[in-house]
Amino acid sequence: MEGVDYLRDERQKAQFDVEAMKVAWAGSREAFQLSDRMANLVANDPAFEKFTRPMLDRKELLKNTLRKAAHGWKLIVDLRLTQEEAKWLRLYIDEPAYTDLHWGMFIPAIEGQGTEEQKKKWLPLAQKMQIIGCYAQTELGHGSNVQGLETTATFDPQTDEFIIHSPTLTSSKWWPGGLGKVSTHALVYARLIVGGDFHGVHGFIVQLRSLDDHSPLPGITVGDIGMKFGNGAYNTMDNGVLTFDHVRIPRNQMLMRVSQVTKEGKIVQSDVPRQLIYGTMVYVRQTIVADASKALSRAVCIATRYSAVRRQFGSRNGGLETQVIDYKTQQSRLFPLLASAYAFRFVGEWLLWLYTDVKQRLAANDFSTLPEAHACTAGLKSLTTSATADGIEECRKLCGGHGYLVSSGLPELFAVYIPACTYEGDNVVLLLQVARFLVKTVSELGYKTPVGTTAYMGRVASLMQNNCVVKTAEGWLNPGAIVEAFESRAARMSVRCGQQLAKFENPEEGFAELSADLVEASVAHCQLIVVSKFIEKLQQDIPGKGVRETLEVLCYVYALFLLHKHQGDFLATGYLTPKQASLANDQLRTLYSEVRPNAIALVDSFSYTDHYLGSILGRYDGNVYPKLYEAAWKDPLNDSDVVDGFHQYVQPILKQKLRTSKL
């Protein structure tokens, strides 16, 4: 029935102020109001309909995306939206498009790496979308190893130009979003060659297509790399392939904020420190962590609502069957993901603060926190994207068979999200970078005080000696006990790796041999960061009846779930006894019962429209089964009772005339 809220009884169980929780999730009342306004602007505009997206062929799919991007830009211009409003509008349109790379990578790179003169020339054009840019770094043969890129930029002092060239097949630029069919310009990363010598990898602004008829310019070969994982999913994006055949560009199109090439062919380092580039990296990774919380919370919202709607088994005397959400097996899989969504949201909030802090320090030529900030953001990018990709798939399984339907929203969400585990740094490679930093921190403990998220390493002596003192299940409801457990685990694993590495004559051989252990130490460190930042969030002023108390429960669920999942680490390091690990699990089960009455209200607090969720299973009103039935009949296969091809291929089999039929 239309207009009936099938989840009303669930919503009435809430033990906290949902409107206040929405503000806590958004970060502030202003942020909530802005986000909500943009979400509803998109949801109420039929131009942004997305139900039919998975049924379109590739050409129609891309054309449909181009139409939506154009309509979105028209709204931005006509309504004079601010940059922040425009960012949220694009998010809620919820369709990967060339605009993501234009605004998210091309423009920030020019802002961060361009000179004042270059910014004055290129940014107005890009911000008015008079040119459309992409970020061409990854190649067919190299991704994570940026120093291994093969595209060359050779300086010609006679013409004051760079010659951009693809010397091998594997030097082809491969993957940049927007490159395939739309971008007019690319920020191309290439090996700088001056006077026959290699001077590192640098960025160059290169025009790819004519601004008159959009045809590729001479020396440019460009196209789309083909279909990717999923139905619609990321196939709305024109990821491209690009090769250069001695393409000449003016010298001033090399981004020269840090390093410059003079007319005479001399390399000059500017007064701007190279480390400034890391500021952009911190910002990009912060947005990736924030996106992880959005994607995971969407999946959790769908799975939680459907778990409350769906009933299976447990009927007595012909009564109602049991809601799936009431089974402990469902709760033990679902509620940690709900807690993770909130944990990632708050650590993303903290990362935004970290970015601001790093930016201010860089402006004052203070680079002391940069290595720690770089390692921290690399690790959190890896941790949150991996957990989110796995979490979305777990939510699909939590929805039973119907989770496999495209109309559940989960297959599309999964297919769109999982590239995050690879772009902006492969997740395992990033964890190995964190490990190098941790091992270095351990080796310097005798004479250098660790800072920021590694400050706990300064207490390594006590963390190595003191073991857990928790004696009851309730004893785990103590932030101090939780943090000490995660600090001890992380410190002991890092120190152990350092000790093992010291046994190798060649450190690099040791690092390669122990890489799996090093990755685990990095995960332990990153999980400590998320747990401690969740606890720090709870020490802030959080208004609203029951909001802080409910978030405390989620914080303990997140921490104790990790402790249970990784109890091998805690036991192997000697910090916990098996009895204490068992008590933690006992407390975790009790916490699930506390989350249960608030589950629907907690996902309502994300304040997602049905349009943004894109899921029949996750509908706000819980009217799932009639809408699933209705959607099935909209599939193009149901346009006729007798399917095209029946008479040609099926009927001959039924009539035993296959030998004489023309297949």
Q: In 10 A of CB 101, how many CB atoms?
A: 26
Q: Quickly tell me which residue has 């989770």 as its tokens.
A: 403
Mapped onto helix, strand or coil, the DSSP state of residue 28 is coil
Distances (CA, A) of 500 to 439, 448, 518, 573: 11, 21, 10, 14
Backbone angles phi, psi at 14, to 5 degrees: -55, 135
The dihedral region occupied by 303, where left means phi > 0, alpha psi between -120 and 50, and beta the remainder, is alpha
Mapped onto helix, strand or coil, the DSSP state of residue 96 is coil
Amino acid code (one letter) for 608: Y
CB 247 within 8 A of CB 163: yes
CA 425/CA 436 separation, integer angstroms: 15
CA 36/CA 354 separation, integer angstroms: 26
Largest CA distance in the chain: 92
- Reported as half-sphere exposure (CB side, CA atoms, 13 A), residue 6 has a value of 21
CA 307/CA 311 separation, integer angstroms: 8
Mapped onto helix, strand or coil, the DSSP state of residue 208 is coil
240-244/152-156 β-pairing: unpaired
**Which is nearest to 145 in space by CA: 183, 104, 201, 93?**
201
CA 178/CA 222 separation, integer angstroms: 11
CA 377/CA 352 separation, integer angstroms: 11
Distances (CA, A) of 189 to 135, 172, 647: 8, 12, 56
Tokens representing 210? Answer: 């004519």
Strand partners, 186: 134, 206
CA 569/CA 524 separation, integer angstroms: 9
SS3 assignment for 400-412: HHHHHCHHHCHHH
CA 172/CA 225 separation, integer angstroms: 11
> Does 425 appear as a known binding residue?
no
Q: Quickly tell me which residue has 């580039």 as its tokens.
A: 277
CA 22/CA 445 separation, integer angstroms: 43
Instruction: Report which DSSP code applies to 104.
Output: I
Amino acid code (one letter) for 363: A
Strand partners, 250: 161
CB 196 within 8 A of CB 222: no
CA 15/CA 381 separation, integer angstroms: 33
Contacts made by residues 326-335, CB under 8 angstroms, sequence distance 24+: 326/596, 328/589, 328/592, 330/398, 331/592, 331/595, 331/596, 332/589, 332/592, 333/394, 333/398, 334/300, 334/303, 334/304, 334/307, 334/395, 334/398, 334/599, 335/557, 335/591, 335/592, 335/595, 335/599
Instruction: Catalytic residue, from 424, 484, 487, 552: name it.
Output: 424
Q: State the Cα angle at 208 between 207 and 214, rounded to 5°.
A: 110
Task: Give yes or no: 424 in active site.
Answer: yes
> Does 138 appear as a known binding residue?
yes
CB 415 within 8 A of CB 231: yes
Active site residues: 424
**Which residue ranges make up the annotated binding site?**
138, 177
**Which residue ranges make up the annotated binding site for FAD?**
138, 177
